[in-house]
Structure 1
Amino acid sequence: MTTADAVPIVFVHGTRFSAGQWSVQLAALRDEFPVTAVDLPGHGERSAQPWSLSSATGIIASAVDSLGRGPALVVGHSLGGYAALEFARCRPERLRGLVLAGASASTRGLGAVPYRWVAGLVPRLPADRLARWNDRLLRRLYPPEVVEATIRSGYAFHTLPAAWGEVLGRFGAEAMRHVKAPVLILNGEKDAVFRSGEADFARAHPHARVELIPRAGHLANFDDPDAFTDAVRRFARQLPAVG
């Protein structure tokens, strides 16, 4: 049973995925914590909704409120991590803690150029071909129980240009200064790109720490679901009580 004082947790998925990305974490944590996962605008069940960071923060806020336990721990991966940073800036009263997973790289400067190129290329490729490629890749790399919920939910390739178009050029380590809650920067050890700024992100916040998942890459919650879940669980248990 969930205890009365357990921290509510909201999971926010990464690029092209959906709430299904978190199926293993939700199953593992729901007996101890009130948990939920969202579909960002243009993703999953919100596939027809236009993307905007403003809408994304509103969706996260609604998910926090739906759990009915006050401020929540928000866990954001990649695109979802940057959306969570924006949520922390706009809705600080609803945030009890923040986990940034694969989202501690600056989206400014020359490092953003390859992502702008990908965002421009994706609309030129047939969505069904991209979906088949993603299905094969996920099934080759991971067990069915880890990725089938993601595969069933489909992919939001049509939203990628707008989503990354808004994120790129917007976030650097200074975004951490807007976060009033404790922060765990949780990265895969081998995620060289998206952990490239983790030290700067950690230094920019007085209550941030970095934890690495050994041998994991960008999709750390797929690469080692147990280790990822355990890191979130430990961080949630350590968060100070509200008030």
Structure 2
Amino acid sequence: MTAADAVPIVLVHGTRFSAGQWSMQLAGLGDEFPVAAVDLPGHGERSAQPWSMGAATEIIASAVDALGRGPALVVGHSLGGYVSLEFARRCPEHLRGLVLAGASLATRGFRAAPYRWIAGLVPHVPADRLARWNDRLLRRLHPPEVVAATIRSGYAFHTLPAAWGSVLGRFDAGAMRAVKAPVLILNGEKDTVFRSGERAFARAHPHARVELIPRARHLANFDDPDAFTDAVRRFARQLPAVG
């Protein structure tokens, strides 16, 4: 693959995080691919922007356009994965490939109940306390260089109820049928909750496959940044040329 042929990549963060989640992937992929990470509405530098699924997909589309290289590989983690599924449905002409990371759990039915409870609970806990808990957890589980940008960017707890409210009840394996590009379902081996539907999601798409990051949990790109980045790199190299 020449520099002119390199697939543009847009990275979409997960719940409460921001573009800072992808600092290791931006560094690891940037030498070979045009790559950008977005802040979804209500997150990061867009903290004051009201959440909506429509606005979230428009932000991804704008990032694809800004890279100026045609349809992109979109990599979405958790909340960002479900937003990327919706983007694939709304903007198929912008999509060359899709990586769903930690986003192959159906958000309909009984499995959604715990997440509705959490979304309802979050507004009743002071945001500074939640931030301190998250800082301590990230620092305990991951090396400083992996999580520094995420901690520095802060957390979007105020947006969590609206964001998850737009996801819960909306997605199951059937959403894969609207995706017109190849799909990599990339999960942490130990993320037993969010990978629980991976087989059904893969079966629902003619060009989807599952890959696991050994020993990684839900935040697989933090648990093993090199393995996560390598999986995205290999998938990007395998995508068919545009046209």
TM-score norm. by structure 2 comes to 0.99
After superposition, give the CA deviation of every residue in 1:85-117 in whole Å (9 maximum; x if it has no partner): 000000000000000000001000000000000
Q: CA deviation at 1:234?
A: 0.1
Matched letter for residue 161 of structure 1: P
Aligned pairs (5 A) from 1:23-62: 23-62=23-62
Unaligned runs of at least 5 residues, structure 1 = none
Q: CA deviation at 1:239?
A: 0.2
Matched letter for residue 124 of structure 2: R
Matched letter for residue 152 of structure 2: R
After superposition, give the CA deviation of every residue in 1:41-86 in whole Å (9 maximum; x if it has no partner): 0000000000011000000000000000000000000000000000
What residue in structure 1 maps to residue 10 of structure 2? 10
Q: Distance in 2 between matches of 1:237 and 1:147?
A: 27
What residue in structure 1 maps to residue 164 of structure 2? 164
Q: CA deviation at 1:20?
A: 0.2
After superposition, give the CA deviation of every residue in 1:170-200 in whole Å (9 maximum; x if it has no partner): 0000000000000000000000110010000
Q: Distance in 2 between matches of 1:17 and 1:68?
A: 26
Q: Distance in 2 between matches of 1:166 and 1:22?
A: 23
TM-score norm. by structure 1 comes to 0.99
Q: Distance in 2 between matches of 1:232 and 1:149?
A: 20
Q: CA deviation at 1:30?
A: 0.5
Q: Secondary structure at the match of 2:186?
A: strand
Q: Percent identity?
A: 86
Q: CA deviation at 1:220?
A: 0.1
Q: Distance in 2 between matches of 1:52 and 1:217?
A: 28
What residue in structure 2 maps to residue 131 of structure 1? 131
What residue in structure 1 maps to residue 86 of structure 2? 86
After superposition, give the CA deviation of every residue in 1:10-38 in whole Å (9 maximum; x if it has no partner): 00000000000000000011010000000
Unaligned runs of at least 5 residues, structure 2 = none
Q: Secondary structure at the match of 1:147?
A: helix
After superposition, give the CA deviation of every residue in 1:216-242 in whole Å (9 maximum; x if it has no partner): 000000000000000000000000000
Q: Secondary structure at the match of 2:4?
A: coil
Structure 1 segments of 4+ aligned residues over 2 angstroms from their partners: none
Q: Distance in 1 between matches of 2:93 and 2:160?
A: 29
After superposition, give the CA deviation of every residue in 1:101-144 in whole Å (9 maximum; x if it has no partner): 00001000000000000000000000000001100110111111
Matched letter for residue 60 of structure 2: I
What residue in structure 1 maps to residue 142 of structure 2? 142
Q: CA deviation at 1:208?
A: 0.1
Q: Distance in 2 between matches of 1:98 and 1:121?
A: 32
Q: Distance in 1 between matches of 2:24 and 2:234?
A: 16
Q: Secondary structure at the match of 1:32?
A: coil
Task: Say whether 1:154 aligns with 2:154.
Answer: yes
Q: CA deviation at 1:209?
A: 0.1
Matched letter for residue 109 of structure 2: G
Paired residues, what number?
Answer: 242
What residue in structure 2 maps to residue 204 of structure 1? 204
Q: Distance in 1 between matches of 2:201 and 2:31?
A: 32
Matched letter for residue 35 of structure 1: V
Q: CA deviation at 1:157?
A: 0.2
Matched letter for residue 16 of structure 1: R
